[in-house]
Every structure is written in structure tokens, then in C-alpha cells.
Amino acid sequence: MALKIFDKGSDSRPMLCEYDVISIDAGWHGKKRVQVCREERVCLEVNGVSIASLTVSPRELAEFACGYCITEGIARDISDIEEVRIEGDRLCVSAPGIDPCTLSRPREVRTSGCVGFVQDDREFDRVLPPGARVTRGVIYSAMERLNDHAVLWRETGGTHCTVLYDAGGTAVSCAEDVGRHNSVDKAIGKALLAGADPGGTFLCCSGRMPEGMVSKVYHAGIPVVVTNNAPSAAGIDLARRVRLTLAGFVRPPRMNIYSVPERILVD
């Protein structure tokens, strides 16, 4: 059965607003009108159970809800989700086949700013299969093109961007959001809804890569994640445990590969 989405106009919500500011530059100051990112609070419900109140950029909410359910381990596969209904600030997900106990786990606020489930250590006993292998050249090109997808960032400087690429460097999906964790959820949700195989992709993003972010990529089944920023020690330890390739400070011609380097090939 195809996943049904009922969205009452969320994708027409404005992403930006304008403010008058005093701008100071070398030898000059004066009034200026600037574009600023909007954010809204939404409440995510799964099977009628309130999961979390989250702050997001106010578009692509159905994709966000699907991605969040996958990356937090609520649903194991996009086929587990039957329906997403957007009603004002409520994101209502129907996934009748999931274990009700999954929804009763305690929540935590992570260093990324995301509200997520406290992870059962046993969830990480399964290691990722080999999956995609990517050349350094493709990774460098992907990182250099990240800002091409970051339309709102170029206007405001206020968003994070995530892009999923296939092993050849073709963009599969992309998303921007005020939260880097939200941009990951949205990009993954968009890719899965489009029928992409996550095992054949790698994830390219801005922002730090702590444990909670690595966990999201792992739950989605993506074998490689690269960022132009730093990982945390816990993020590296988890990536090594689950055999996920993690590269940070990807700024051509440099990168640090922290785990499973064999997936990144010399050109």
C-alpha cells in the first residue's frame, strides 16, 4: 500500500521574514533590511502517542516526520508508515505495525539540539553492510556543491543543509532547516519517499557530527557520512562500532576519516 500524505498547505508557509536592523561595516553603519529564517514549533504524534515538540523550518513537514521516524528507530522501513497527516502544528503519523513499546521509551535532548529517544545499547549490535564505496574526488565535489543546494543559507546564513548523493555524485535528495538534525531527517525522508536505496548513497552535511547525528544516519542504513565540521568522540566511537564510514573536516583537498576508511577510494 502506498504511503498517503494529507497536508493542509504547510508547503505554502513562508520560510523567511524581514527585519530592519542597524548594520555596521568597516567605516560605515546604517539601517538595512535583512532576510531571517522562520522557525515553528510542531508536535509529532505516532499512532496517537505524542512523541516530541520540535522546532523546525516550516516546510517539507511530511518528509521530516517520515525521516524522523526512521532515523530515531521508531519505524525500521518506510513501508512501516501508512499515513502522514499535517494538521496545523500537529504531524500525525500512522504506523500500525510498529511495537507500541517503541513509543514508550524515554526521551532525551541531545547536543545537536534534537529531542530523540534514549537508545537501547542493543540497537547498535547490528553492523552496516558494505554498501556504497565512494572516491575522494566525488566526496570533494559533493562538499563543494553543498552550498549550491543551500538556497536559504545563501540568503540568510541561518540554515544547515544536507544532501544525499549516490556513489557517482548525483544528488538524490536535499533539505535545509534551522536545525542540522532536522535537515538530515528531511533529506532522508525525501529520499525514502522517492524510493531511493539508502545503502547506495552517502550523506553530505554541514554541522558537527555527535553521537545522536551518527545514530540517525545509522538507523537510515546509510553507510557513509561526510561533514565539513567536526565529529565528537562519542560520534566516532559509535561509527566505529556499527561500521559506518565517518569523515570530517572535508575541505578539499583535506579530510579526516575516522572510521571504516575502506569505503573511501583513492581516485
Cis peptide before 100 (omega within 30 of 0): no
Is-contact 201 162, C-beta < 8 A? no
Q: What is the pLDDT of residue 122?
A: 83
pLDDT, tens digit (0-9, with 9 covering 90-100), for 150-159: 999 999 999 9
The yes-or-no answer on residue 114 being catalytic is: yes
Question: Containing H/E element for 140?
Answer: helix 136-144
Residue 48 burial (10 A CB sphere; 0-12, 13-18, 19+): exposed
Strands 28-37 and 16-25, bridge-based pairing: antiparallel
Strands 224-227 and 201-205, bridge-based pairing: parallel
* pLDDT: which is higher, 61 or 26: 61
Residue type, 131: G
Q: Tell me how far apart the alpha carbons of residues 230 and 250 are, in angstroms, rounded to a whole number.
A: 9
Q: Is the pLDDT of residue 77 over 90?
A: yes
* pLDDT: which is higher, 220 or 267: 220
Query: Cell digits for 214?
Result: 551518527
C-alpha torsion angle, residues 123, 127, 128, 133 (rounded to 10): 150
pLDDT-based confidence at 10, cuts 50/70/90? confident
pLDDT, tens digit (0-9, with 9 covering 90-100), for 195-222: 999 999 999 998 899 999 999 999 999 9
pLDDT, tens digit (0-9, with 9 covering 90-100), for 115-151: 877 877 788 999 999 999 999 999 999 999 999 999 9
Burial 162-197 (b: 16+ CB within 10 A, else e): bbbbbbebebbbbbbbbbbbbbbbbbbbbbbbeebe
Mean pLDDT of 213-235: 97
C-alpha torsion angle, residues 121, 125, 127, 128 (rounded to 10): -60
Rg (Cα) of the chain, in Å, rounded? 19
Mean pLDDT of 238-263: 97
CATH topology for 134-265 is Cytidine Deaminase; domain 2 (3.40.140)
Q: What is the pLDDT of residue 179?
A: 93
pLDDT-based confidence at 112, cuts 50/70/90? low
* pLDDT: which is higher, 103 or 136: 136
pTM value is 0.93
Q: Of 42-51, 96-105, 253-262, which gets the smallest average pLDDT?
A: 96-105
Mean pLDDT of 6-33: 90
Residue from 37, 114, 161, 204 carrying the catalytic annotation: 114
Q: What is the pLDDT of residue 1?
A: 58
Q: What percent of the chain has pLDDT over 70?
A: 99
